[in-house]
Amino acid sequence: MAAKTNPIPSVWARQQREPDRPALTRAAIVREAIVMLDAEGAEALSMRKLGARLNAGATSLYRHVATKDELMELAVDEAVAEITVPPAGGPDWRAAVTEAARSFRATALRHPWLSSVLGQAGLAYLGPNLMSFSERLAALFTDAGFPAPNGAIDTVLAYVIGMSTTEAAWLTAVARSGETEAEFIARLMPAAQQAAASHDHLAAAYAEADAEAAAGTLDPVGIRDTKFAYGLDVILDGLALRLPR
């Protein structure tokens, strides 16, 4: 007798049950889950708390979503739908990839949990929005002339996910302080300068930032934008060298 095959642990590989409560839909569950994730983070999300917010028991949620892991898959796919990727065939592949990377970053900062969840994914997400996003990126790189676009895609996504994870964590800490980003940096600056006092290069950088903060010219958003753009340009410079001559 043949051994029973274990099911694939993904919401996209499981047939959805017919709902028995029309008022409670999978879409409504996912939307509310994203609201919770944005406000409280992935660790705070639970089926019990989500059910309470929807005025439904956890058992009712499980009729639509079998596990919290499945719920996270659905939330990730819903968020990824917000990322824009220009169509292939344009005159400048770098500009198109840059636009997609910036859109990904903006989406990740609107949903601070997204990048860290994607970075921890053990099973490739199979959702339609993520598949469409990946397909459009593949079309961009293929049209640009990359013979094996997956390597280029993975390189760009690794950079964007890594930077967005760090940036989202920083902005979460700022939000929890109840201060503006500039105020939070100003309060942090004395401790940072003290820690960097015996490190010449770091001390000089912190002294410059402290002077800007004191003058009211410190632009945290501009600094983060510049950092992201610089790193992305370095990545694309390297990829350009891989194009067939």
Label residue 152 exposed, middle or buried (CB < 10 Å: 0-12, 13-18, 19+): buried
**pLDDT value for 126:** 80
pLDDT in tens, 207-231: 998 888 888 888 999 999 999 999 9
Residue 88 half-sphere exposure, CB side, CA atoms within 13 Å? Answer: 14
**pLDDT value for 63:** 86
The first and second tokens of residue 147, run together, are 């013979």
How much is the pTM? 0.85
Residues of the chain with pLDDT under 50: 20-21
Does residue 185 contact residue 218 with C-beta atoms inside 8 Å?
yes
**pLDDT value for 6:** 75
**pLDDT value for 21:** 46
Report how far apart, in Å, the C-alpha atoms of 159 and of each of 11, 151, 162, 214 are.
27, 13, 5, 33
Report how far apart, in Å, the C-alpha atoms of 225 and of each of 95, 149, 179 are.
16, 26, 20
**pLDDT value for 222:** 95
List of domains in the chain: 11-80 (1.10.10.60), 93-240 (1.10.357.10)
Q: What are phi and psi of 85, to 5 degrees?
A: -130, 120
